[in-house]
Every structure is written in C-alpha cells, then in structure tokens.
Amino acid sequence: MFSPARNRRGRRLGTLALALVAGVGLTCAPAAATAPPPPQEDAFYQPPAGYETTAPGTILRTREVQLAAFSVLPQKVQAWQLLYRTTDRNGAADATATTVVLPWGAKPDRSRPLLSYQVAQDSTAPQCVPSYALRQGVGNEGIVTQAELLLIDAAVQQGWAVSIPDHEGRKGLLAAPREPGYLALDGVRAAENFAPLGLNGKDTKVGLWGYSGGALASAWTAEMQPAYAPELNIAGAALGGTVANAGDLAGRTNGGPAAGLFGLAIASLRKAYPQIDAVIEKYVNAEGRELLDFAATHCTAEVSARMAFQDISKYSSIPLEEMLKLPEVRPVLEEIKLGKHAPTAPLYVYHAVHDELPAIADTDALVAGYCAAGDSVTYKRDLLSEHVSLTITGAADALNWLKQRLGGAPAPRGCTKETVLSTLASPTALATFGSVLFNDLLALLGQPIGPRDLA
C-alpha cells in the first residue's frame, strides 16, 4: 500500500523537477532567436479567400517552425504549423492553427498514433495561442502554456505524432461551448492528411489529453466527436482537473488568489455573447472594465498577477451572486457547462479531491452523467494533490493509460470510480514519472526527443 511518506517523496520529486527545469533554463539558455511576429501581425494566420467552401480540416497553409522550451531552449523535434479550415460554435466556417510534432529523426509511418494535446491556454489575447507561445524567441508571456511543453515532449518521447491546436481560435474564446471540440477535431483531420507525418488517415489511432482548461477543451472534443467527426478513430481521452461547470468556478475564484481566471473567462464571454457584454457595461464601473480589458489583452500569468484577490463585486453596482442569476447570464452559464453530449471514446478522468479551483463535486456529477449514458470511464479522485500539483503528480498515470489505448489494449468496460491517496502511488506511475523527468531534462539540454532508435 502507498504510504504518505512515499507520496511526500513523490511530491518532492515534482518540486525538484520544476526546480531543475528552471535551473536548466537559467544556466543553459542560448542567445534568444529573433522573435517571430505575434499572430495579430502574422499573415500566416489569415485564411485565403474562398476558404469557407472547403471541407472542415482542409489544410490552408503550412510552415516549419522551431519549438523551444520557455522560448529559449530549442527542442530537437520536427515541427510544423498548419492553418486549417474549421467551424465556430455557431456552425460558421472559420480557420485556426495547430502545431504538429514528430520525434526527431522519425520517418512517415502509417502505424504511428496521434495525440491531440490541448494546453491550458486560459487566455483570450492572440499572442497567448500555443502555436505562438511554443516557438523560439517569443518571450515568456505565455509561460503557463510553455510549461506544458514538458508534457508534450513526454508524448513525443513515446514515438507518437502530436497535434497542439489553438483550440480557442483566432478570437480567443475561453470557456465557449462546442467550439474547442470542433477546432481540435479539425486539427486531427488536418494532421492525418499532412503528408510529412505519414499517418494512416482516418484509421489513425487518436488520443486526447488536457489538464484544467486543456481538459475542458478535450472534454468538448470528446463530446462533439460522435456527431461532428464520427470517422475519427478516437481511442481514448485523458481529462485532468476538468472545469465541468465554469459558472461554479466563478464563485470559487472571485476575490481569491486565482481571481484572474474569472476575469479571463468574463473577458472571453464578452466577445462571444453580446448579452454578457451588455451586463458588464450596465453594472461594472470604469475601473472594473479596465481590469477586464487588461485581461482581454494579456496572457494568464500577467492577468493572474494583476487580478489576484480582486472581487468583481467591488467594481459592480450589484453583488456577483446577483449578477450570475440575471436572466441574461443564466442561459449562458448553462450553455457552457459540459455533460450535454455523451462521448463514445473511453475516458480517463483524474481530479484532486481538494481542488481549490474546479470543484470535485462538479466532476463527480459530470462522470456520473457520462456513466449513465453508457460511457467507459476510469475515474480517479486524488486525496493528497491540489489543482497545480496534480498537473505533475497525475501526468504519469494519465500517460500510462493513453499508452495502453494507443497501443491497442481495449479500455475497461463500464465505469470505475476510485479515491486514491495519490495517482502517483503505483510503481508503474512512479517509473513513468522518473522516465519522463529524465527524458525532459535531456530534451532541455538539446538531446533528440523520441525513441532512441530514431535518434
């Protein structure tokens, strides 16, 4: 049985991992490359005339790119950006980008699986999209997304192809319903038809993975797939720290250290829903609107620092609780909740029991709904982690589950729900964690990323 002392060692390993990453970044960083232009100034992101008549997933433009950890440490992988046609939440044609990655030295291989990894972008400004934040020389405004490159590297190390879509699109719609799923699914379609990856088209085994805001996007992807992209072979989806109920998250974060997340969501919903913008204009004063404007133009780390412990009620003529109950607001909060569509792909769900951001009760309810619809769900509730630490401690078990699904092992039938001391508790998870840490450190030092026989 896993002991508390052993789990503390596991958590210390996670802390050590972050310290080592920071140390490598500080001591081994080469001179910064010339910064590429941000998306709002880069013609690559503008779709060509007439693109609306093409099919969802059609590749519109491609280019090779250099990925770098924390902007300064080049990662030895093969990487491209694909601009492709997709669909917005209202069913209209749109375009967005995905970054697709192959292991260093890998050749096109029709047997290779594809992982669609949705980062926790959690921002609405155009310079925060992963296709920009993961490139060399862009600076560290998108540092939250940049940290997830270490999990992306872990997936590439398995020999998989990886797609990292800009799942909030060119408008940066954080928390918008349906659309993240459409954008990620069309990113899979584009990747499967991108010749340099050499994948097996719609027969490619596909996995989905994301944590927090990335899990929200991955859950929408799993929910939208049966109706929107039924031809795709989704072998499984791993969802960690899922934001199942964004309206509930607002009440939990407002006025606390993570109040910036609420500000980012409101800044996004103002773009997506005119009625939300009208409510803000009516009830929130100029100082509060200035804060929300800041949230709309900056990435997660800066907004979190600026808005920490800010209570929106301080800037409003009515309390937040009353604002959330307004007839203009309630339908929006209902629409952005997960759980209205049943995925058909197997799911692995992991969540901290004492998560201070998305409530465990909301994920319990989401899983119960999926199970009632007949889904295959493996659900692990972690007692000793909280929201941020589970990003690290939960990754190994999620990766192991994905390896089984993408390796062809059938998912367990039905649903299992287990409360564990830590998802890092099993010997297999600890072994994977150690391997990921070791290989990520090699990647940060410029070693090729991928199975050794490809190096």
* Active site members: 212, 355, 387
Angle between helices 179-192 and 213-228 (to 10 degrees): 70
* Half-sphere exposure in the Cβ direction for 338 (13 Å, CA): 34
CB distance 57 to 186 below 8 Å: yes
Report DSSP letters for 134-169, one per residue: TBTTS-STTHHHHHTHHHHHHHHHTT-EEEEE-TTT
Strand 347-352 to 93-103 pairing:
unpaired
The owner of tokens 């990453």 is 21
103 bridge partner residues: 77
Task: Please tell me the distance from the alpha carbon of residue 255 to that of residue 242, in angstroms, as a whole number.
Answer: 21
Residue 73 neighbours by CB under 8 Å, 6+ apart: 24, 25, 28, 29, 30, 444, 446
SS3 229: coil
Residues 6+ apart with CB under 8 A from 355: 241, 386, 387, 390
Phi, psi at 45, each rounded to 5°: -80, -5
- CA distance linking residue 134 with residue 311, whole number of Å: 32
Can you tell me which residue has the tokens 């009625």? 275
Q: Are the C-beta atoms of 120 and 144 separated by less than 8 Å? A: yes
Q: Contact at 8 Å (CB) between 71 and 164?
A: no
Give me the torsion for CA of 405, 410, 415, 420, rounded to 10°. -50
What H or E segment, with its residue span, contains residue 59?
A: strand 59-64
Q: Tell me the two tokens of residue 12.
A: 């210390």
The Cα 324–Cα 286 span in angstroms is 20
Query: Is the Cα torsion angle 239, 240, 246, 248 positive or negative in sign?
Result: positive
Residues 105 and 453: beta-carbon distance below 8 Å:
no
- Residue 147 dihedral angles phi and psi, to the nearest 5°: -65, -30
What's the CA gap between 67 and 65, in Å, rounded?
6
